[in-house]
Chain A
Amino acid sequence: MNFLMSLITNLISGLSLGSIYALIALGYTMVYGIAKMLNFAHGDIIMVGAFAVIVSVTSLGLPPVAAILISVVVCVVLGVAIERIAYKPLREASPLAVLITAIGVSYFLQSLALIIFGSNQYSFPKIMTFSSITLGGLTLNGETLTTLIVTTILMIALSLFIGKTRIGKAMRAVSEDKGAAELMGISVNKTIAVTFAIGSALAAVAGLFYGTTYGFINPYTGAMPGIKAFVAAVFGGIGSIPGAMLGGILLGVIENLSKAYISTELSDAIVFAVLIIVLIVRPIGLLGKKTNEKV
């Protein structure tokens, strides 16, 4: 019985961690679907979002809601600006050139944060305090539950947005065929900018939850969740939105379970090993679309 309880607790905290990965992975996968590029700087947007919250709460003394809003706005502006300045001139260039540029942007954000904040750990303000809930002998952490609920709402909202709205339709069209979409009167530039804006907003939320989960932020905080989310996006089939959600959640659960039952040090290795096995069995990821190569 005790084992079952701890298993459920670990599963739920794994789901919560996984939903954070899923939020980040959505940004990766949306940008990949539309701009066909790996945005390596996406992880660092999380770090910027988390620092925005810290600055607004501890230095400016703003209420939590305002801090969260500021963090989202900062990330959206940053994401769109990065796209405009660094990626847009390279839209016709080779994917590798864009990848290296994205790495450059990642270095840029990290070193800028390093200059402003130094390499110290900043403790993340406790802006969300929720009491834990006890359900039939099972104690659930309040923050974990909030993370889970908010990310679920965001993912449903995003699915509806992409499925039902005009802009969502434009996004799907651009990812399918950029040239044809442009001929149908869709502004490709605007659609790509919107995609970056949404991805960055999700990253800001992910930064908030990442900060509350781990409690500490430094300029390099974004790198590892960024890589994990990239893994999650590929795991689910890169370019596929449900795939990113599934991949992120599975990744979080696997990571948490291996931390709890196998080894803390080897948990990353286990996550990566599962990814490799999945990709060897199914080279396009779990929900990826198979594209036939034309001669």
Chain B
Amino acid sequence: MQSKKTVVSKMITYGMVILAFVIVFALDQSGLISRHMRSMLVPIGINIILAVSLNLTVGFLGELTLGHAGFMSVGAYAGCLFSIYTADLLPLAARFPLAMLLGGIVAAVFGIIIGVPVLRLKGDYLAIVTLAFGEIIRSVIINLNFTGGASGLKGTPQDSTYPITFVVILIMLFVIMNLVESKHGRAITAIRDNRIAAEACGINITYYKLLAFVVAAFFAGVAGVLFGHNYSILTAGTFDYNMSIEILVMVVLGGMGSIRGSIIAATVITILPEALRFLEDYRMLIYAVVLIIVMIVNASPRFTGMRDFLSPKTWIAILTKKNNGKEAA
């Protein structure tokens, strides 16, 4: 049984996403959204899918991986090639979901191939190996013929729209939030909190690590398919380690293991560089400074102490003297 608190928390997350969609949809219908803003909606959705799925490995499983863009690229190429070859055979309503499913499955298969040997590595070693895999995938795609090579894959139908992306986000949230709250999810978080204790309790470490890794890879692949169907050219160069790092930044800024946090951070980080466009050349500089300051304020003991002091929760706790110690994170 799920506790009342988690049910409420899940409802807030769904509600937030649905409300955001309804507002955007209403604004779009009344013509209040510019072309430029509309073009950002799909990328925001893609980043939400990427961030939430990466949060499953980084936040819930506690393993740092830097190869998320690699899975995304595998999924993108699989889905796009499928769409190109079946463009005349299947109607959109069948083709696009099938492309996404195929992209996700191919990425998940790569997740298994990569995950089985590397998941016994820990910490920074795992980070560098996943980064290495991402870079290998990129180099290989550039050197293959059927992927269009370095000049990119052309001719993918541009099927991605923001309502479709929204539906995919809802499905992903349903899967991942239920997974996290399930027996499997508790096993995954137990591995994060204490691997040895979890193993001693009879949790199959390899299986659950792989499960989290593969589910994350699946959704990265789906996001890749959406990405591929959003632009006219798909180039492997896009999916370099910088992209993986950017997704990681979203997860960390949003808060490890917080799905709602990932959604918000993905949205903010996608919009922020665009919103800072008026700064022209100084845009990336300001972005970097904001990133550093946010990290310091968020994680430095000096500032977290100050934040606790300022938070109304602390005062309520002091006044009512009910709450002993910190709230469980």
Number of interface residues of B (CB under 8 A): 51
A86 touches B296 (CB 8 A): yes
- 1/0 contact string of A67-106 vs chain B (CB within 8 Å): 0000000000000000000100110111111011101110
Q: Which 9 A-B pairs have the closest CB atoms?
A: A272-B132, A111-B284, A108-B288, A97-B299, A269-B139, A93-B299, A104-B291, A107-B288, A104-B292
What are some 22 contacts across the A-B interface (CB < 8 A)? A38-B127, A89-B302, A92-B301, A93-B301, A97-B298, A100-B253, A100-B295, A104-B288, A107-B287, A108-B292, A227-B241, A234-B125, A265-B143, A268-B139, A273-B136, A276-B136, A279-B121, A279-B125, A279-B129, A283-B120, A293-B195, A295-B196
Partner of B131, one of A90, A227, A238, A284: A227
Q: Kindly count the residue-residue contacts between A and B in the assembled complex, taking CB atoms under 8 Å apart.
A: 127
In angstroms, Cα B296 to Cα A108, docked, is 15
B128 near A101 with CB under 8 A, answer: no
User: Which residues 219-257 of A sit at the B interface, judged by CB distance below 8 A?
Assistant: 223, 227, 230-231, 234, 238
Interface residues of B in 15-69 (CB under 8 A from A): 58, 64
Contact among B118, B140, B248, B300 with A89 in the assembled complex (CB-CB below 8 Å): B300
The answer to whether A276 and B118 have CB atoms under 8 Å apart is yes
* In the complex, B80 has a CB within 8 A of chain A: no
Give the shortest distance, in Å, between B58 (CB) and chain A (any CB). 8
A293–B196 touching, CB < 8 Å:
yes
Q: Is B124 on the interface with A (CB-CB < 8 A)? A: yes
A-contact 0/1 string along B185-214, CB 8 Å cutoff: 000000000011100000000000000000
0/1 per residue, B277-297, Cβ < 8 Å to A? 000011111011101100110
Do residues B140 and A269 form an inter-chain contact, with CB atoms below 8 A?
A: yes
What 0/1 readout, one digit per residue, does chain A (263-295) give for beta carbons within 8 Å of chain B? 101101100110110011001110000000101
Q: Which residues of B contact A93 (CB under 8 A)?
A: 299-301
From 227 to 278 in chain B, residues with beta carbon under 8 angstroms from any chain A beta carbon are: 241-242, 245, 248-249, 252-253, 256
**Contact call A275/B135, Cβ cutoff below 8 A:** no
Q: What per-residue 1/0 map shows which CB atoms of A171-213 lie under 8 Å from chain B?
A: 0000000000000000000000000000000000000000000
B contact residues vs A (CB 8 Å cutoff):
58, 64, 117-118, 120-125, 127-129, 131-133, 135-136, 139-140, 142-143, 195-197, 241-242, 245, 248-249, 252-253, 256, 281-285, 287-289, 291-292, 295-296, 298-303
A101 and B124 in contact, given A96-B64, A111-B285 (Cβ under 8 angstroms)? no
- Determine which residue in A104, A227, A280 has the highest number of CB atoms from chain B within 10 A of its CB, and name it: A104
- CB of A62 closer than 8 Å to a CB of B: no
Q: How far is the CB of B151 from chain A (nearest CB, A)?
A: 13
| Most B C-beta atoms less than 10 A away, residue of A94, A95, A97 | A97
Assuming the contacts A93-B301, A105-B288, asked whether A263 and B241 have C-beta atoms less than 8 A apart, the reply is no
Chain A residues within 8 Å of B142, by CB: 265
Q: Is the CB of A276 within 8 A of B139?
A: no
B242 / chain A contacts, CB cutoff of 8 Å: 223
A112 at the B interface (CB under 8 A): yes
CB-nearest residue of chain A to B280? A115
- Is A283 in contact with B140, judged by CB distance below 8 angstroms? no
Residue A65 lies at the interface, judged by CB distance under 8 Å to chain B: no
Closest chain B residue, CB of each to CB of A294: B196
Q: Is A7 an interface residue (CB 8 A)?
A: no
A150 in contact (CB, < 8 A): no
List, in ascending order, chain B residues with CB within 8 A of A273's CB. 132, 136
Q: Is B249 a contact partner of A38 (Cβ separation < 8 A)?
A: no
Q: Smallest distance from the beta carbon of A45 to chain B beta carbons, Å? A: 15
**A114 CB within 8 Å of chain B:** yes
Q: Shortest beta-carbon distance, B175 to chain A, in Å?
A: 25
- Per the 8 Å Cβ criterion, residues 97-135 of A in contact with B are 97, 99-101, 103-105, 107-108, 110-112, 114-115
Query: What's the Cα separation between A279 and B121 when bound, in Å?
Result: 8
Chain B nearest CB, measured from A122 CB (Å):
18
Q: Is the CB of A108 within 8 A of B289?
A: yes
Residue ID in chain B nearest A82 by CB atoms? B292
Q: Judging by beta carbons under 8 Å apart, are B128 and A114 in contact? A: no
Q: How far is it, in angstroms, between the C-alpha of A108 and the C-alpha of B129 when the chains are bound?
A: 26
Residue on A nearest B200 in the bound complex, by CB: A295
B133 touches A276 (CB 8 A): yes
Query: Which residue of A is nearest B281, CB measured?
Result: A115
Chain B residue at smallest Cβ distance from A32: B124
Chain B residues with CB under 8 A of A104: 288-289, 291-292, 295
Which of B118, B298, B300 has most chain A Cβ within 10 Å? B300
